[in-house]
Structure 1
Amino acid sequence: MKKMKKWQIWTAAGAAVLVIGTTSVMMFSHPNSPNQEVANETPMVQTVKDGSIASSVLLTGKVTADQEQYVYFDGTKGDLQSILVNVGDQVTAGQAIVQYSSTEAQTAYDAAVRTVNKADRQLNDLMTNGVSVDTTGDDEEDAKSASQAQRTVDSQASDLRDARADAVDNMNKAKALLDATIVKSSIDGTVVEVNKDVSKSTTGTNQTLVHIVSNGHLQVKGELSEYNLANISEGQEVVLTSKVYPDKTWTGKISYVGNYPTDSGQANNNTAGGTQGSGGAKYPFTVDITSDIGELKQGFSVNIEVKSSTQHPLVPVTSVMADGDTSYVWTVEKGKAKKVKVTLGNADAENQEIVSGLKKDAQVIVNPNEKLEDGKEIGKYDKID
């Protein structure tokens, strides 16, 4: 047998590679290749439903309690006697939390009570004993005297009743001042701050004695710019996200949008002359959280994605095709394909908003391909939810 030279062996190996490569090309160009199967796949049809897509408006806010109470030091109520709660205590509405001591308030109330009691004694004595009348034996003259005496009693009784009414008013006012020395909780909640070391000077009036937050639903509060104000309204739904839990979302609804700028926003606006560069005025807003709170905590900063307040037909993004500047979808009507020109709105990763051209309950093809023809029967197709 004749030996092959080394270069001949290499050439044969190359020929073998060439054959393998040619075979591979032929295999992937076969009519039954996977690419062809995708083109011939069974159409999937979905019923169009109305919905909304998140708008481009993004806000930020902070998670807060829906109710909270701050009790500040008030020197007009008297000397601070004691704070009746501690951090972590659970309190109920109407429970005493701060006690002032005021000698003047107590003295005024005691004096008012004595005045009322004195008026009661005088009125009772008058109505019981009346006034004495000396009789003369002359029936006509005695009748006149008795009538005069009765008028005197009635007049004195009226004066005493008026005096008593004034005394009761003063007593109620004094009682209100005395009651004010006891500060009560206005909500059910948890005590989160207690400050027993406060200044007794007038500068101490802004010092917090007790801070209570409710145990109810959480809210998100923040400020939006004047440029977003026109696009935000009460009732709009939102999606909340937190950097602390990036894989979780919460839902909410805008419950309040202020018509007047916040003090800080107005101050910034006035300082900068109201230019756009300054950020403009800031308006407060509140979001009620409608989903389970889960891991969300008070004080968390969250991002807020605002959903559009309008409802439009929504279709899967895969159903939308383009022909130049024109967008269209394929629908099924009476078993036939129909090409429908549409105007697009907002979109997210899954859904496309259709502003015009398509109505709710239309049957849209989710996976259209180039072989669809307007008016041609489709035959078999799969319907999905």
Structure 2
Amino acid sequence: MKKKIWLSIGVVSIIVLLVGVNVYRAMSKEEVTVSTVKLSQQEIASNVMVPGTLRFQNEQYIYQDPEKGEIAEILVKEGETVNAGTPLLRYENEQFSLEKEQNALSIESSYLKINQLEKQLDDLSEKEKDLSKQVGKEEAEKTIEAEHNQLEMEQKMADIELRQLLLQKETIEKQLNTLEVKSDIAGTVITIEEHPEQTSEQGGMKAVIHIAKTDQFIVSGVLSEYDSLKAAEGQPVTLSSDVVPDAEWKGKVSKIGLFPETSSSTMGTENAAVQYPVEVIIEGSEMKAKPGFKLIMEIETEKRNVQTVPVDAVKQDGEDYFVYTVEDGKTKKKTIEIGTASSDYMEVKEGLSADDAIVSKPKDDLLSGTEVTVK
């Protein structure tokens, strides 16, 4: 009997203790306060981000041409400003010089021969006049006819030979003109290589002279097949660099290749990724970065007015995205389908309605079904 009494007292005590604990917890539980927002219409830009390399927009590389001979003299210095047409270097070609001298001698000889033939024809005309007085005009013409015809034929051949020599002279002069290499652009001499026969790290011959317009830059990169369909010339571009983290530059797409890039590593590979070259011209000339720097090109492909929520309101669970809404004083987890995102807003394609009160900045420990107070 006593055991039953004590057992009953124990059960009642446990029940009282549990009720007390729950009451204490309920009374001491902190009130959860949240702020909510509604879906809002925002203009969001779709972007394509690709890496690129900074380089000069206008530049010229002068390589040694062994067919022209040896470089006799470099006519400019590093850092010098040049105009289009400025002589940069001059070759020395002994063969061209000999051809020019020989051609000059041949032309001089041809003129002497023509002058000699003209004198012979004049002498023959005097001879004909003297014969006409002795044997008559008709007989005199017959006497010198063969010799006259021969001299005229030789004169014509000499004229043809002279024209050929003069044409050869023009060709030789053009060849000699190519021995003086001129700048195609206005710019600054960036580098001069005194030993161009040495190969670069990439295995190619070094340029003798490198000229560039140092206040105009472009960024070159490649686009995937998918991105090449969205990008177009004239689209605005934002450029950034990890090397200069606090700087951004603006530009525009200036060129998209019609044909994909090919390289020795991808030739003959059926499943190789296809990439299209893209160039971006940078607006303005104040560049902290230098040619060769790696940049990120953020190409703005389109702008649309869409339904959005703040980025801070969206949570991710694996591959799914969700938000918390407040209904009847409690939170409710809703899975959403997202679209394009900006730095502040994210497009919501499905999962929310215009009346939903969306928790703007849910804490990481917030759960669905939590009682909350809306500010």
Q: TM-score with structure 2 length normalisation?
A: 0.61
In the alignment, structure 1 residue 348 sits paired with structure 2 residue 342: yes
- 1:353 Cα offset (Å): 8.8
CA contact (8 A) 2:45 2:300 kept: yes
SS of residue paired to 1:87: coil
In the alignment, structure 1 residue 301 sits paired with structure 2 residue 294: yes
- 1:108 Cα offset (Å): 0.9
Deviations, residues 248-286 of structure 1 (Å, cap 9, x unaligned):
32222222223344443xx22237x3436xxx2443222
Residue in structure 2 matched with residue 268 of structure 1 by the alignment: 265
- 1:304 Cα offset (Å): 0.6
Aligned partners of 2:348, 2:60: CA distance in 1, in Å?
A: 47
Aligned partners of 2:270, 2:226: CA distance in 1, in Å?
A: 12
Residue in structure 1 matched with residue 22 of structure 2 by the alignment: none
Residue in structure 2 matched with residue 222 of structure 1 by the alignment: 221
Q: For the pair shown, which has the larger CA radius of gyration, 1 or 2?
A: 2
SS of residue paired to 1:93: coil
- 1:80 Cα offset (Å): 2.8
* 2:59 counterpart (68, 79, 100): 68
Residue in structure 2 matched with residue 339 of structure 1 by the alignment: none
When residues 200 and 294 of structure 1 are mapped into structure 2, their CA distance, relative to the original with a 3 A threshold, is closer
When residues 97 and 291 of structure 1 are mapped into structure 2, their CA distance, relative to the original with a 3 A threshold, is closer
Comparing 298-307 and 241-250, the one that deviates more: 241-250
Residue in structure 2 matched with residue 172 of structure 1 by the alignment: 170
Residue in structure 2 matched with residue 90 of structure 1 by the alignment: 81
How many residues are paired up?
A: 293
Aligned partners of 2:356, 2:283: CA distance in 1, in Å?
A: 44
Residue in structure 1 matched with residue 239 of structure 2 by the alignment: 240
- Amino acid in structure 2 at the alignment position of 1:54: S
CA contact (8 A) 1:315 1:352 kept: no
Q: How does 1:16-165 map to 2 (within 5 A)?
A: 53-55=45-47, 57-123=48-114, 130-131=121-122, 132-133=124-125, 134-135=127-128, 136-137=131-132, 138-142=136-140, 155-165=153-163
Comparing 104-113 and 158-167, the one that deviates more: 158-167
Residue in structure 2 matched with residue 191 of structure 1 by the alignment: 189
Deviations, residues 219-239 of structure 1 (Å, cap 9, x unaligned):
111233445333333333322
Aligned partners of 2:276, 2:218: CA distance in 1, in Å?
A: 17
Aligned partners of 2:340, 2:284: CA distance in 1, in Å?
A: 24
- Amino acid in structure 2 at the alignment position of 1:224: L
Aligned partners of 2:236, 2:144: CA distance in 1, in Å?
A: 82
Deviations, residues 189-219 of structure 1 (Å, cap 9, x unaligned):
2222222134499xx9923222222235211
Aligned partners of 1:346, 1:154: CA distance in 2, in Å?
A: 90
SS of residue paired to 1:268: coil
Deviations, residues 127-172 of structure 1 (Å, cap 9, x unaligned):
6774423333223445677988886666545433322222122222
- 1:303 Cα offset (Å): 0.5
- Amino acid in structure 2 at the alignment position of 1:348: S
SS of residue paired to 1:178: helix
In the alignment, structure 1 residue 287 sits paired with structure 2 residue 287: no
SS of residue paired to 1:243: coil
Aligned partners of 2:97, 2:84: CA distance in 1, in Å?
A: 25
Aligned partners of 1:152, 1:293: CA distance in 2, in Å?
A: 78
Aligned partners of 1:352, 1:110: CA distance in 2, in Å?
A: 79
Q: TM-score with structure 1 length normalisation?
A: 0.59
When residues 218 and 288 of structure 1 are mapped into structure 2, their CA distance, relative to the original with a 3 A threshold, is same
SS of residue paired to 1:211: strand
